[in-house]
Amino acid sequence: MTEKKKLTLELIKQLHKPELHCHLDGSLSVDSIMEMAEEQGVDLGFKSKEDLAKVVEVDIDCPSLVVYLNSFGVTLKVMQTPHSLTRSVYEVSEAAYRDGISYLELRFSPVLHLEKGMDLALVMESICEGVALVEKTFPIVVRIIVCGMRHMDPKVTESLAEICWRYHKKGVTGFDLAGPEDGFSSKHHRSAFHLVSRKMINLTLHAGEAYGWESIYDSIRYCGAHRIGHGVRLYENEELKNYVRDKEIPLECCVTSNFQTKAISAIEKHPIKQYFDYGILTVPCTDNVTVSKVKLSEEYFKIQELFGFEPEELIRMADYGFAKAFVDNTIRKRLRVDALYFALNLLKQNGFSLDKFFENHVYYERAGVNLALFKDPPIITPFSIDPPITLEIIQKLPKADLHCRLDGSVSIDTVWDEIQKDPNWFKLFKLEEIKSKEELIEKLQPERHTAKSFALAKKIMLSVCQTKEQIQRAVDNIYAEASKDNVQYLELMFRPLAHIHKMKAEEVMQIVLEESKKASEQYKIRTGIVVYVSIPEDDPISFFETAKLGIQYKNQGVMGFGSFGDDIPFENYKFYEKTFSLLKKHNMNVCILAGQKTPDSIVAALSEGGSSRVSGAFKMHEIPKLVSHLVNHNILVEVSPTDKLSVLTENISTFSGSPIELFVHSGLPVTLCSFRLTLDKQSRSQVIQRVVKENQFDIADLLRIVAIGFRNNFSSRDVQVQMHIDFWKFAQEFLPPLGFKQLRKFPWMPKKKN
């Protein structure tokens, strides 16, 4: 039998698909517009349905954006009453369901529906009523995105942002900014985006459609966009393109619409395939079903014909859409696995090879698909009790350490050697003389650290990292010790201003970069450097200077910037605005310690600091919506079972057990870090074993935690993906012979017939 290479339109229609970019007022059918006009007594000026269609539908060779936009003036005339809005949501959603869409995000601007006396609240109530009616009637999940308009007064955008948040429990899931880009930068609407980001509302912005890469940049930098609508012009800036890829900011790609509006000169020149091949998350969308005269199934079929997408690639793009849907993670996971299982069964039944899925098995297994069930014959692994997870097994597992402090990870033997090299050491640093290695151990590793003992330990560790030779030996020692624990990826954190007893900060930077490069090659550990500041030791000027230094060496090994020591509350970010603006300007990775005192500081770290990773997050469970927000946007949390974690969570009564257990079982991406490993009495492997025992984690839990460090770090996406694949290849070869069978936890799937 000849292997099939292309999907038919009928098969594509059957596939479960997500629609992330669909304008309500551009997707109402011609029949509905005519009927609603008659019901409302609205004279549209057309004698027949055919005449109306000539205006509200445009051909593929639409001459201009002006002609394209003429359609909306007609449809909006019949969308000015409560019933018309409810009906519009219902009928557009029903049509989407008939086209195989299982998840639909409809976007609209409430301010465009006030011509007949409705206020914003009535508009929203009518729209949300439509969502409830649809979901009661059809097996489709529908959510609403409220659009601000670039060309309107920013105060109007603020009012729309407020109404968006007010209805977030009634089906409203995100906020958008639409309208003309040229001359109407999103940064003018920052106050509206500050409001919704502080309320943890999902954000997508139209950008890079009718204007250049700067519009995309502003949307991410000033507004914190989680997704970009269109993004056609992203190719104009290589650094921004890399940032969008590495941060997995998806592009809602509307190929047909982009040609009709002249965002591209020829439809075959659309960059969707270029972006997809580069590793950017591209999601096919319609934009306006009626205006563009294209259903989502037809859009998938069209890009298959134009760009040569293979069946697996089309299905993967659909999965990108489900994975980045603005919906709670519990629903999202089920949408993903339902769609993928259905697609695999459909392809298999229709004679398509699944080889490409098996080749990319790590991706699909991570999404929740047990590909073994699609082998010939299917491989069914019966439930079994795994053997104990021993220290020896943990030691042999490859590891990623995303937070290893230069001033806290040098071995005790090395610290003792450095102290002995200089008899005046204790005088230089105003420390009590330490007469033996045993005494040093008592000071660095007491039974339990207090604030005073911790401060002394940090001072001792810093004192032996103040000369070029000391830093060289320290870096080499850190990598040597990491190698013993089978660390294969390490992000070394250091605070330049903490090592300037005899050198300038830039000299320290050069030494650390040079020595870490040598150590990386010698010990075969991939590495990156993160420069950090500490509160309260570093003031806003020090923040800015350290950020500048990190940016200066960004392409020479520096991967990110960190702020640790203490929380930064919302009201204090104004003092550091210059620093975080600079970091955003240069697309720098940021990690911020937050959630020590209040969960609000976590929200501030994300919305004000642009943090893509949070350290600590001890208090986040106090706001359940915050936990969901972090999960939904894949925000990595750095943790370790330290004394600090115990102290900050010991009086919490809202959950029982370990906070790490809570984080993991909430679906949060958690990575175990060494931080200041020397101040602990255990190796990395021993710490992991302790976490496994205390939380009764099984092998699947352990592997998920360890794998996250390889997949969610500050390296480029292609490096992350390869490290993640390598890790799972090792695990799947190493563990089954030892008796471990259940390496992943797959969701249960009912037997369905396509």
C-alpha–C-alpha distance, residues 442 and 427, integer Å: 20
Q: Helices marked H in 167-295 — which ranges?
A: 190-198, 213-221, 238-246, 255-260, 272-278
Can you tell me the distance from the alpha carbon of 592 to that of 120, in angstroms, rounded to the nearest whole number? 37
Distance of CA 357 to CAs 12, 337, 361, 722, Å?
Answer: 17, 14, 6, 16
Tokens 């609403």, residue located: 144
From the list 147, 139, 101, the residue with the least C-alpha distance to 283 is 101
Q: What's CA 49's distance to the chain center, in Å? A: 45
Q: Residue 41 and residue 56: Cα distance in Å, rounded? A: 19
Q: Are 192 and 161 in contact (CB under 8 A)?
A: yes
- Separation CA 698–CA 739 (nearest Å): 13
734 and 699 in contact (C-beta within 8 Å)?
no
Measured distance CA(552)–CA(93) in Å, rounded: 50
- The answer to whether residues 280 and 244 touch, using CB atoms and an 8 Å cutoff, is yes
Sequence-distant (≥ 6) Cβ neighbours of residue 427 within 8 angstroms: none
Q: Write the CA distances from 143 to 12, 93, 105, 285, 633, integer angstroms.
A: 23, 10, 5, 15, 17
Sign (positive/negative) of CA torsion 246, 247, 252, 258?
negative
**Catalytic residue numbers, as ranges:** 209
Helix axes 49-56, 65-75, angle to 10 degrees: 130
Instruction: Please state, in angstroms and as integers, the Cα–Cα distance from residue 107 to each residue in 135, 309, 320, 534, following that order.
Output: 17, 28, 19, 42
Amino acid identity of residue 137, one-letter, is T
> b or e along 82-92 (b: 16 or more beta carbons within 10 Å of the residue's beta carbon)?
bebbbbbbbbb
For residues 452 and 457, what is the distance between their CA atoms, to the nearest angstrom?
A: 9
CA atoms of 71 and 58, how far apart (whole Å): 8
Closest CA to 747 of 667, 660, 693: 667
DSSP-assigned beta bridge partners for residue 670: 637
Taking phi first (over 0 means left), then psi (-120 to 50 degrees means alpha), and beta for anything else, what does residue 677 get?
alpha
Cis peptide before 110 (omega within 30 of 0): no
Among 105, 83, 82, 80, which Cα is nearest to 27's? 105
Name the β-bridge partners of 202: 174
Return the C-alpha torsion angle 259, 262, 266, 270, nearest 10: -60
Helices (H) and strands (E) in the chain, counts: 33, 16
Cβ contacts of 5 within 8 Å, gap of 6 or more: 310, 311
**Strand ordering across the sheet containing 141-149:** 17-23, 101-108, 141-149, 172-178, 202-207, 227-230, 251-253, 282-284
Give the Cβ contact number of residue 180 at 10 Å: 15
Residue 247 burial class via C-beta count within 10 angstroms: exposed 0-12, middle 13-18, buried 19 and up? middle
Pairing assessment for the beta strands 202-207 and 172-178 based on DSSP bridges: parallel
What 3-state class would DSSP assign to 225? coil
